[in-house]
Amino acid sequence: MSKPHILVTGAGGFIGGHLVKSMLEQGHQVRAVDKKPQWQWYQRFPEAENLTLNLEDKDACVQAVNGTDWIYNLAADMGGMGFIELNKGLCMLSVLINTHMLMAARHCGATRLFYSSSACVYAGYKQKETDNPGLKEEDAYPADPEDGYGWEKLFSERMCRHFMEDFGLQTRVARYHNVYGPHGTFDGGREKAPAAICRKVIAAKLGGAKEIEIWGDGLQTRSFQYIDDCLHGTQSIMESGIIEPINLGSAEMVSINQLVDLVEDIAGIKLKRSYKLDAPKGVRGRSSDNTLIKKKLGWEPSVTLRTGLEKTYAWILDQMKSGNSKDSVVNRF
């Protein structure tokens, strides 16, 4: 069989850019779509068909989908906790993208659609303790997701399910848990914790500062998944027969203080910690229970947090030494 023609939405973003690269390396014909001007894409590859389209518009979705076979729908208006807690309305508007992408996929005859959901769909009452045992797929119900962003993700999961049940469109849904790595946002307010901590430690080291600001008390816990593991897991889920939402994350849970410890050790520096207790900080404890994906696919992450942080730190250090920022790291023509 010939390889499916791939559409990647959100291709100008962090995960999308890496996924386009991976699909091209595997010999796929790839259409890459994002609403940002292409000079703002984190990675751009001339081998792909690169289109700038606002996928909140139905006609744009039809243009993006037409002639493709498999869709990786990663497009969303999102960022780290500092963004999603303060921009709930913008996060909810991503439902337009997901609605119109499903409608376009059905209309144009695409055969399979992958939807990138989030651990933010999980019930808040399951995440009140730092010693989180790991969230299982069934912990999304009874529903109590992250306000705004989490509700939109949970609703879009249900749309994928019903488009498969009612119209026969094969959908696959992965709940991403904190993906990090090079070629992504590290400043400007949309960055996630690993990139933010790397940036702050690097800035202190380059500038001679002795202190680092941490959002919250540093005791809140998370697990973080390196981009290479995310890509492998994403493709495995897309190619599988798994029709229910499934976790895609790491079970290696650490506190934010421990995350800072790791980055300080990589940098060879020790900083005084200033805790900003009124900053957005999300749930108290969150980690991924990977029992189901191990059973279904025999998959688990292979990159340790230390190894992934070393690679991420080195890339952000290079960007900062070069004077790059969230708007200048993206020139990859």
Place of tokens 């990663």: 74
Contact 285, 221 (CB under 8 A): yes
**CATH code of the domain in which 20 resides:** 3.40.50.720
The verdict on residue 199 lying in a domain is: yes
Strand, helix or coil at 53? coil
Higher-pLDDT residue of 324 and 25 is 25
| Same-domain status, 257 and 139 | no
**CATH code of the domain in which 211 resides:** 3.90.25.10
| Same-domain status, 315 and 218 | yes
| Same-domain status, 96 and 171 | yes
The verdict on residue 330 lying in a domain is: no
**Torsion 292-110-67-176 (CA) sign:** negative
| Same-domain status, 218 and 160 | no
Q: Which domain holds residue 257?
A: 193-222+253-295+302-321
Q: What is the pTM of this model?
A: 0.94
Higher-pLDDT residue of 185 and 96 is 96
- Is the pLDDT at 135 greater than 60, yes or no? yes
Helix (H) or strand (E) holding 255: strand 253-255
- Is the pLDDT at 178 greater than 60, yes or no? yes
DSSP notation for 156-214: HHHHHHHHHHHH--EEEEEEE--EE-SSS--SSS---HHHHHHHHHHHHHHHT--EEEE
Overall number of domains in the chain: 2
Cα atoms in the Cβ-side hemisphere of radius 13 Å centred on 229 = 24
| Same-domain status, 241 and 260 | no
Give the largest CA-CA distance in the chain: 60
- Burial of residue 71 (CB within 10 Å: 0-12, 13-18, 19+) is buried
- Is the pLDDT at 282 greater than 90, yes or no? no
Identify the CA nearest to 284 among candidates 141, 106, 128, 164: 128
| Same-domain status, 33 and 129 | yes
Task: Kindly indicate the confidence band of residue 85, based on its pLDDT and cuts at 50, 70 and 90.
Answer: confident
- Is the pLDDT at 21 greater than 70, yes or no? yes
pLDDT tens for 89-100 read 998 999 999 999
The verdict on residue 186 lying in a domain is: no
| Same-domain status, 155 and 55 | yes
The verdict on residue 205 lying in a domain is: yes
The verdict on residue 187 lying in a domain is: no
> Average pLDDT over the chain, rounded to whole?
94
Catalytic residue ranges: 149
Give the pLDDT confidence score for residue 325 in this predicted structure.
61
- Burial of residue 210 (CB within 10 Å: 0-12, 13-18, 19+) is exposed
pLDDT tens for 204-249 read 999 999 999 999 999 999 999 999 999 999 999 999 999 999 999 9
| Same-domain status, 313 and 236 | no
| Same-domain status, 232 and 257 | no
| Same-domain status, 173 and 53 | yes
| Same-domain status, 79 and 213 | no
The verdict on residue 332 lying in a domain is: no
Give the pLDDT confidence score for residue 1 in this predicted structure.
58
The verdict on residue 82 lying in a domain is: yes
Identify the CA nearest to 118 among candidates 151, 71, 163, 89: 151
The verdict on residue 127 lying in a domain is: yes
| Same-domain status, 148 and 230 | yes
Query: CA 198: distance to chain centroid?
Result: 18
Give the pLDDT confidence score for residue 327 in this predicted structure.
46
